[in-house]
Structure 1
Amino acid sequence: MKASYEKLIKGNEQWVKEKLSLDPNYFSNLAKGQKPEFLWIGCSDSRVPANEITKTESGEVFVHRNIANQVIHTDINMLSVLQYAVEYLHVKHVIVCGHYGCGGVKAAMDHSYVGLVGRWLAHLKDIYQNNKHILDEIPDANERENRMVELNVIEQVHNLAKTSFIQKAWKNRELEIHGWVYSLHNGKIKDLNCKYESIDQLEPIYRFSGLD
């Protein structure tokens, strides 16, 4: 029986041929280093590949993905990616991109037991509880879920602004953080217009002092 994973190797071989046919120096240039302008914090969902939906090439977008595109201040993995992108790669934009139809958001709005994932989704449940007065006024279940997806992205952008890495960068250079939502139904990205570009936009209680 032919293993299904073999198609990935075959696909890679075809991809290499296509890239070299367009540019014989593609891989030698790529190996010289990366200077992406963007850090993308997205959902792990296989239907939302950052480079494909933004039509960007390898080296243009630095990517971190997790279930329901969370920015959690105890997540060392996410924080490490963020610090490296901001302090070493000097990205100009950090983008949190959620998507409608997110399984993580659906699970967080439900009461079903989902094992360890449930502990991760507890942060989403907090967002729901804090916005219950808004969400409970939406009668249609799909519209309510879509609004929850948007509120989640807005909250994660806010969480980014609370980090010392973002605030330290703001003291020394321009940096913008954005919140977007991708639609699986039409392939389009929606800008939620929740951009932060200065510590002045952040509530004083979250601002760090003494950052170099």
Structure 2
Amino acid sequence: MNFYQEVFEKNKKWIKEKEATDADFFKHLAEGQSPEILYIGCSDSRVTAEEMTGMNPGQMFVHRNIANLVPNNDSNSASVIEYAIGALDVKHVVVCGHYFCGGVKAAMQAKDLGILNPWLRNIRDVYRFHSAELNTITDEEEKYKRLVELNVEEQCTNVLKTAIFQKHYNMNKTPTVHGWVFDIKTGKLIDLKFDFEEKLKSIQEIYNLGK
């Protein structure tokens, strides 16, 4: 059996395991979803949202892309945020990065990466915003790790800039926005304690779309 065929065998095993504990599992799953969390993470194959958080199907709405970005010109992430907040009424939005992120590392290379250039420019902009702090870090690994954290915080801020978030939050005081980092070496999720309410106040003079 090759690796591709193994996927379908594992799917059969998964179905049996779910039905063994709950005969109506798939019946309930087909009735709809009401996730509490919108998770915006990295496409890295080592970072699987449901597995590392212990969430079950239906509990978390997931969007993943290279380096967990929320760019202002990306209709994909914008549509996900619009649907998750406006239609699904999620109570939490999480942006989760991870240490040793290939996208972050690639962004720091002085190299033409073709079609990836405009995407990775978003991370290079994060570096530019925080260059005073980052340039004081002499250890390259620690610098990359700090850039991962700063990138998460900037993407959280980009969520706050969206009209759907501001309008929904003004009316309902939800969702809350969180920044996490997954440490691949330890398996731990780190809460960056992103103060989204304070950040929202600080940017609303310019990015006030909630009226």
Matched with 1:200 is: 201
Matched with 1:179 is: 179
Distance change >3 Å, CA 61–CA 77, structure 1 → 2 = same
Secondary structure of the corresponding residue to residue 42 of structure 1: strand
Q: How many residues align?
A: 209
- Is contact 1:43-1:66 (8 Å) kept? yes
| Matched residue type, 2:182 | Y
> CA–CA distance in 2 between the matches of 1:195 and 1:44?
25
Secondary structure of the corresponding residue to residue 5 of structure 1: helix
Calculate the aligned-residue CA RMSD, in Å: 1.3
Provide TM-score, normalisation by structure 2: 0.95
> CA–CA distance in 2 between the matches of 1:3 and 1:184?
28
Matched with 1:112 is: 111
| Matched residue type, 1:128 | Y
Matched with 1:102 is: 101
Matched with 1:11 is: 10
Q: Residues 69-148 of structure 1 correspond to what in structure 2 (within 5 A)?
A: 69-148=68-147
> CA–CA distance in 2 between the matches of 1:207 and 1:17?
50
Unpaired runs of 5+ residues, structure 1, are none
Q: How much has 1:112 moved relative to structure 2? A: 2.1
Distance change >3 Å, CA 153–CA 103, structure 1 → 2 = same
Cα deviations across residues 25-74 of structure 1 (Å, max 9, x unaligned)? 11101111100010000000011111000001000000000000000111
- Is contact 1:39-1:63 (8 Å) kept? yes
- Is contact 1:176-1:195 (8 Å) kept? no
Unpaired runs of 5+ residues, structure 2, are none
- Is contact 1:170-1:197 (8 Å) kept? no
